[in-house]
Amino acid sequence: MSYIVGLGELMLRLSSLDSERLLQSAMLNATFGGVEANVCVSAARFGLNARYVTAFPDNALGRKAEELLLGQKVDTSCIVWKGKRLGLYFLDMGYDHRPSSVTYDREYSAISEISHADFDWDKIFYDAEYFHITGVTPGISESARELTIYAVKEAKKRNVKVSCDINYRKKLWKYGKNIWDVMPEIVEQSDILFANEYDAVKILGIKSDLDVDGVINDEEYTDLMERTIKKYNLSSVITTKREVKSSSYNIFSSKAIMNGKLYKSKKYDINNIVDRVGSGDAFVGGILSGLYLFDNPQDILEFATASSCIKHTIYGDWNITSKEEVISLMNSKGSGDVSR
């Protein structure tokens, strides 16, 4: 089986325990996460081959991160060991009406300072079918932006399909460029796009009078996304939909235009969210894996949505589940009976 390759930043995440506020006690939970790595972990757990590319400092943090990736069966052989520090972030985990809040401490990280010349692109794309990239990496630093664009070109050169998740993080993009100046060039070379109405209009420059923060009907959605597909020559545009009742309660589903048709997943009432971080990546990992596992778009979308739904119940960025569990949920009427 060919490989899914992801490139980006993996950070140490330091988060409060259970329902505590950050540093309410002296205990912190340390996991590792980053959008592209999370996608690779999902894909690997679903039985695909996944290769993650990044730069790690050669210290206790970098080595632990690699240990954990290896445990998930992600290929780490293209990681470059160079740089001074691993980016990190503090997560004050939200609960009910108290929202989660992220404090980034990721400047000067290994990935933010590395150059494309440090990587072996032939090795990276060896036997690769998909290359997954997001709007996070080019938001980190000027050199990370250059690295991203260089990587996408290297992928296309080798006929590797590009999957791009817009993933707009307002707390990034401080180095002088805006996301709307950068992403169009990347999306132009992409095949699969993860983007919602806001992204299409505000970042990718699709003209529209719609209120992109409001409710949009299926026709409006289809029209907007088909114009996006056309403009950027994409094969599909996919997005999750989330009605946020509180930090602990979301109504979750997804939509896609695939093969020129609108698909909508079933909706999940998620009342007792454990950890929402990484649920978007569990969705993306579900789509990329679903392309191998299923023939029809509806199944692919349902698989990815169920994958993401399960992620909401798992602590940490990674979706510690299996193909069997996800399929069981996507096929279930209810869910939650004890298997014994």
Give the footprint of its own copies on residues 10-69 (CB under 8 A). 14, 18-31, 59-61, 64, 67-68
Residues touching its own copies, count (CB under 8 A): 84
Least Å distance, CB 100 to its own copies, is 4
Residues in 224-243 at the binding interface with its own copies, rule: CB under 8 A: 243
Report the amino acid identity of residue 106.
R
Nearer to its own copies, 95 or 294 (CB): 95
Find residue 224's DSSP bridge partners. none
Residues in 133-162 at the binding interface with its own copies, rule: CB under 8 A: none
* Cα 33 to Cα 11: distance, rounded to the nearest angstrom: 5
- CB neighbours of residue 245 within 10 Å: 14
Q: Is residue 117 at the binding interface for its own copies, with CB under 8 A as the rule?
A: no
Please choose, out of 201-209, 256-264, 286-294, 318-326, the segment that lies near its own copies by the rule CB under 8 A.
318-326
- Alpha carbons within 13 angstroms on the beta-carbon side of residue 168 total 17
- CB neighbours of residue 24 within 10 Å: 12
Q: Is residue 251 at the binding interface for its own copies, with CB under 8 A as the rule?
A: no
Helix (H) or strand (E) holding 14: strand 11-15
Residues in 169-228 at the binding interface with its own copies, rule: CB under 8 A: 169-171
Pick the binder of its own copies from 2, 77, 107, 123 (CB under 8 A): 107
Pick the binder of its own copies from 246, 292, 299, 323 (CB under 8 A): 246
Report the amino acid identity of residue 151.
A
Cβ-count burial 250-285 (b if 16+ within 10 Å, e if not): bebbbbbbbeeeebbbeebebeebebbbbbbbbbbb
Tokens 């996304």, residue located: 225
Nearer to its own copies, 136 or 155 (CB): 136
Q: Is residue 265 at the binding interface for its own copies, with CB under 8 A as the rule?
A: no
Residues in 67-86 at the binding interface with its own copies, rule: CB under 8 A: 67-68, 70-73, 84-85
Nearer to its own copies, 233 or 331 (CB): 331
Residue 98 DSSP code: B
β-strands 161-165, 128-134: how paired? parallel
Least Å distance, CB 292 to its own copies, is 21
* Cα 46 to Cα 61: distance, rounded to the nearest angstrom: 26
Q: Is residue 115 at the binding interface for its own copies, with CB under 8 A as the rule?
A: no
Query: What's the alpha-carbon Rg for the chain, to the nearest Å?
Result: 19
Nearer to its own copies, 106 or 161 (CB): 106
Pick the binder of its own copies from 143, 208, 315, 323 (CB under 8 A): 315
* Cα 93 to Cα 101: distance, rounded to the nearest angstrom: 7
